[in-house]
Each structure stands twice: as C-alpha cells, then as structure tokens.
C-alpha cells in the first residue's frame, strides 16, 4: 500500500509537471521566423520587423526582407519604419507627462488653451475637453476632415484644422459614439506645443524617446537625419508591388508621424508594462500609475457582449486614450495599429502576461502580416486554438480582392461604353468651394475634363464620363487606391452649380472622406 501511494503521488507530480510544460509558452524565435518566411513567400511583401518583450526582457528582435525592393537592402532590428497611428499613444503619454507636472488637466476645456478652436455647435465647443480629443467620441464622422492630410502635399495648417470643425456635420450626439478621428489628435499636439513651448515632435523626442533610450526614433519623417537604414513604403494595390513615396507632413505628427524600429519600440513596450517606470531597477518614472490608469481606461465603447464570442471569448472592445482595449481568453489586451501609404504596423501589450509585441511592415496590403503575425504570437500565449494565420490572410485577401475588383472593373467598363456620349464640358467647368477643404477647379485640357484641388496638390486627375451627371476621376496620385466619383447638380440651364463626391472602391481608405465635401460653384 505504501509503495502504491508513493507511486500514485509520483504519477500525480509527473502529470502536473507535464501539464505545466505543455501550457502555451509563446512562439520561439524559430517559429516566428517560420511564420514570417512563409508570409514573405505567399504575399507581395517588401520587409518586416518584429520584437517581443516578456517578463521585463527583450526576447526577440529581428528584421526580414527588404527595406527597399529596388536597393535590396535588408531590414534589421534597427530599421526605422513609419509607425503611423501608433504615434497616438505617444501623444497621450506626452499629455500625461504634462498632467503629472501640474501644467494641465485632461478635464481642461480645449478653448482654455486654444481659444480659436471650433466645433459644429457652441455647446460642444465650450465643453470639449482635452480628454475628448483623445478618445474618438466627438460626434463627427469617421475620418472627418482627413482629406486635408490625405494625400500629403497639401498646404493646410493648424489654423485650417482648428477652423474646419465648424463646417463638419456630426453623425451622432457628442460623447455617445465611437468614430475614429485623426484631426483631433493634431489639436492635442497643438496643446502640447502651446503648454510646453516645444513642437510635438521635439517634446516627444526629448521627454519620451531620449529618456527611454530610443536613440534612432524621431517624431516625423522631416526629422530623419540619417536615412541609410529607413524602410521605404511599397504598395501592390494596383497589381505589381512597387515603391511609393514616403508620406511626409509635419502637420500630422501627433496623429501619426513617428519613425521607429522594433528595437526602440521594445523600450516603449517595457515602460508601458512597468506602469511608467524605466531605467536601472526601474527607479525613473516617465508618467505615473494614475496617468496610466487614465490611458488604459475604457472611455468609448465599441462593442460589448455578455456572452463571450469567437475563439478568443471576446466580451468587450473600446478605446482608451491612444490605445484600443479589449479582452482575449480572459486577458486584457492594450493595442493599436497604424497605417500610411505602403506602411502598416501594430503594437500591443498584455499586462497580466508581462508581454509586449511590435510588428512593423513596409508593404500595403502585404498579406496584412502586421496583424496576422501579432495574432499568432498572441495565440501562443493566451492558449487560443491553433490557426494558420497566413492561410486565413490569403483566403481573405483573395475573396476581398475578387469582390472589390468586380465592382471597380464594372465602373470602368461603363466608362468605356460611354466614350461616344457627346458632352458639353463648358457646363461643368469652373471653380467650386467646400468651406473646410477649399477650392477645386474643373477645367479642360487637350479635349478632356480634369479635376484639380487648389490646396491638396496631389488630388489632380482626369474625369471620365460615367452616367447621368456623374464622372469617374482617375487620380494621378496612385500610392493609394482612392479614385472617386463626382456627381454634378445642374441648374435649369444645364450648368453645374454644385458637386457631391464619393470613393469608387468599396475598399477605399476611410481617410479619403470625399463624401463629406459640399462643393458649390463660386466662379
């Protein structure tokens, strides 16, 4: 009996140890390599970099593929990528630092710091707080006013941004609904400048990046001093993978300007996991625990279900201050994504697992590997059922592209059939104005009708007759898929008096908010 009892205890111990050892412990570096290499084979990609921090240490930081398909320069862990909207968390942290220094409160009204700030009505303007700038609950629509910053190259200023909101039409009541908004982060950056006396980029570099040892990172493309190890953007949206021009606009820095590497971002992830502490024995403090609690608090709900859904048993998803907050398999995940022409990225932390991940890519869509690789790494730690994310992405891309291509191709087939339609271009020609976007000109060149924005210089394109009073515009700007319809409203004499627009592709980026324009003839 004694021998049997000892044997039983031994077996229980062995089984217990086996269960511990088989518990998901994360992907090894070799497994991450394998997933990335398969993605590089499957999809039209240029390069990618990934870092993983766990239990206070950097356990993986590596680059793959090319920073440029033309130069064939390899990506490494120090290659700088545009992290786009992952910059928003830095804006929230910068404001947190100012709060800790006693220079402002997130409950301050924006007009206290920026008197010329406008909104679509006086109540919202007078009650709009700094906190409201950061959590996408303004009442304005998705990407409202983004045509001032997409594509880059326009001559819009912070003054234009501040004045634009009075001309926007709300889609919901103030503080009741989530709609992502880049322009309000630009306003947040302006508050940082007015309070600190430093530009947003200078403040973030000196108060966040330099203390953390993010030695290669900068606040914007314009502040890159050495470009020998910088990833160039690529796109396959029009078929073949090609390099496109880097997005460059200092106006948008606070919303999406940062260039960083996975090596540098690992330090950013660690300070997040350490509740603002960093340095030797975590004796230094970037921001307080109280400030982190504010940033990681659900301010705007996206969705909620009492009964967990999908493979992650997800119950809620919402937005904090510069971060998306959701639950997977009982764990809270704090994350954000970023996207610019030819650049996609994701950063995330799982505080209860002391885990952080950064994935940076320089191709659009690139199999959406910025997302799928991050999900594969998450799965390995939260014990989600296995899934081949590369296969998932391949099937999803194939289905989406087939549907989108059929819609877009049908438009241009209709254009082709309408070529013989006689047109009186003079009825459409003239100058039209939208109050926040500015003036556009419809003119004739070499027997064809053209559209030109006078302020957003890259929005220049030939207009092809489609049907009724609608034309399809093919922009000379091809870095993103943003061709658009322009529908004219005619007076009783058949002369155009106004124009309404919308994107042609159902897959157009939300920042091309042509549908918000209300263009009226001025000459």
Q: What is the pLDDT of residues 358-378, one digit of tens each?
A: 999 999 998 899 999 999 999
The answer to whether the CB of 167 falls within 8 A of the CB of 241 is no
| Confidence (pLDDT) at 309 | 84
| Confidence (pLDDT) at 61 | 98
Q: Which residues contact 375 (CB under 8 A, 6 or more apart)?
A: 387, 389
Closest CA to 479 of 189, 78, 82: 82
What is the bridge-based pairing of β-strands 300-309 and 234-235? unpaired
CA distance 522 to 519: 9
- The CA–CA distances, whole Å, from 435 to 130, 164, 460, 518 equal 25, 8, 19, 8
| Confidence (pLDDT) at 77 | 98
Q: pLDDT grade, residue 178 (50/70/90)?
A: very high
pTM exceeds 0.85 = yes
Closest CA to 326 of 336, 175, 431: 336
| Confidence (pLDDT) at 7 | 37
Phi, psi torsion values for 76, nearest 5 degrees: -130, -175
CA distance 172 to 334: 26
Enumerate domains of the chain plus CATH numbers. 30-383 (3.40.710.10), 416-521 (2.40.128.50)
Taken in order 37, 43, 45, 49, the sign of the CA dihedral is negative
Closest CA to 359 of 90, 87, 62: 62
Closest CA to 243 of 76, 134, 364: 364
Q: Which residues contact 323 (CB under 8 A, 6 or more apart)?
A: 89, 92, 295, 296, 334, 335, 336
CA distance 385 to 358: 22
Average pLDDT over residues 381-402: 86
CA distance 261 to 259: 7
| Confidence (pLDDT) at 238 | 83
CA distance 1 to 377: 47
Q: Which residues contact 117 (CB under 8 A, 6 or more apart)?
A: 110, 111, 125, 128, 162, 165, 187
- The CA–CA distances, whole Å, from 476 to 358, 484, 494 equal 34, 12, 29
Residue 356 predicted with pLDDT over 80:
yes
Q: pLDDT grade, residue 13 (50/70/90)?
A: very low
260 preceded by cis ω (within 30°)?
A: no
442's enclosing H/E stretch is: strand 438-445
Please give the distance of CA 439 from its chain centroid, rounded to a whole number.
Answer: 28
- Express each pLDDT in 416-433 by its tens digit: 888 877 788 999 999 999
CA distance 406 to 403: 5
Q: pLDDT grade, residue 1 (50/70/90)?
A: very low
CA angle 231, 237, 240 (to 5 degrees): 80
Q: pLDDT grade, residue 465 (50/70/90)?
A: very high
Q: pLDDT grade, residue 24 (50/70/90)?
A: low
CA within 13 Å, CB half, 343: 29
Burial (CB count <10 Å: 0-12, 13-18, 19+), residue 63: buried
The answer to whether the CB of 313 falls within 8 A of the CB of 93 is no
162's enclosing H/E stretch is: helix 158-164
The answer to whether the CB of 424 falls within 8 A of the CB of 490 is no
The answer to whether the CB of 479 falls within 8 A of the CB of 463 is no
Residue 16 predicted with pLDDT over 70:
no
| Confidence (pLDDT) at 421 | 78
Other beta carbons less than 10 A from residue 139's beta carbon: 23
What tokens does 52 get?
């993983």
Closest CA to 454 of 149, 154, 183, 146: 154
Maximal C-alpha separation, the chain? 106
CA angle 217, 254, 98 (to 5 degrees): 90
């Amino acid at each position: 009996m004694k021998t049997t009892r000892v044997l039983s205890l031994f077996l229980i111990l062995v089984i217990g140890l086996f269960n511990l050892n088989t518990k998901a412990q994360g992907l090894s570096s070799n497994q991450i390599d394998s997933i990335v290499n398969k993605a590089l084979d499957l999809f039209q990609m240029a390069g990618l970099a990934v870092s993983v921090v766990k239990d206070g240490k950097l356990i993986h930081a590596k680059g793959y593929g090319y920073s440029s398909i033309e130069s064939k320069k390899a990506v490494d862990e120090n290659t700088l990528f545009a992290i786009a909207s992952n910059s928003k968390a830095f804006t929230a942290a910068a404001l947190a630092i100012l709060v800790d220094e006693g220079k402002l409160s997130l409950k301050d009204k924006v007009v206290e710091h920026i008197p010329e700030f406008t909104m679509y009505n006086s109540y919202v303007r007078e009650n709009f707080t700094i906190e409201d700038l950061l959590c996408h609950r303004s009442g304005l629509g998705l990407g409202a006013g983004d045509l001032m910053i997409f594509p880059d190259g326009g001559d819009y200023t912070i003054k234009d941004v501040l004045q634009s909101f009075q001309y926007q039409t709300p889609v919901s009541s103030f503080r009741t609904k989530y709609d992502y908004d880049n322009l309000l982060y630009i306003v947040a950056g302006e508050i940082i400048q007015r309070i600190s006396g430093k530009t947003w980029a200078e403040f973030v570099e000196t108060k966040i990046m330099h203390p953390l040892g993010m030695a290669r990172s900068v606040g914007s493309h314009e502040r890159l001093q050495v470009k020998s190890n910088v990833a160039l953007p690529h796109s396959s949206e029009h078929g073949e993978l090609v390099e496109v021009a880097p997005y460059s606009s200092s106006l948008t820095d606070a919303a999406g300007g940062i260039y960083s590497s996975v090596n540098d971002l690992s330090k950013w992830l660690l300070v997040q996991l350490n509740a603002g502490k960093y340095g030797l024995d975590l004796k230094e403090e970037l921001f307080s625990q109280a400030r982190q609690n504010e940033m990681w608090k659900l301010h705007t709900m996206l969705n909620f279900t009492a009964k967990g859904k999908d493979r992650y048993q997800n119950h809620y998803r919402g937005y904090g201050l510069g971060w998306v907050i959701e639950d997977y398999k009982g764990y809270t995940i704090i994350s954000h994504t970023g996207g610019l022409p030819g650049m996609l990225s994701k950063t995330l932390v799982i505080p209860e697992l002391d885990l952080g991940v950064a994935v940076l890519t320089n191709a659009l869509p690139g199999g959406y590997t910025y997302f799928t690789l991050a999900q594969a790494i998450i799965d390995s730690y939260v014990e989600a059922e296995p899934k081949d994310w590369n296969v998932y992405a391949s099937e999803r891309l194939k289905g989406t592209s087939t549907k989108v291509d059929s819609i877009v191709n049908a438009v241009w087939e209709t254009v082709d059939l309408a070529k013989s339609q006689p047109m009186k271009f003079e009825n459409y020609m003239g100058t039209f104005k939208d109050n926040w976007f500015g003036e556009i000109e419809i003119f004739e060149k070499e027997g064809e009708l053209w559209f030109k924005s006078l302020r957003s210089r890259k929005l220049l394109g030939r207009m092809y007759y489609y049907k009724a009073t609608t034309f399809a515009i093919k922009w000379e700007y091809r870095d993103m898929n943003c061709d658009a319809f322009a529908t004219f409203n005619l007076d009783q004499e058949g002369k155009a008096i106004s124009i309404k627009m919308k994107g042609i592709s159902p897959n157009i980026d939300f920042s091309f908010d042509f549908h918000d324009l209300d263009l009226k003839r001025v000459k």
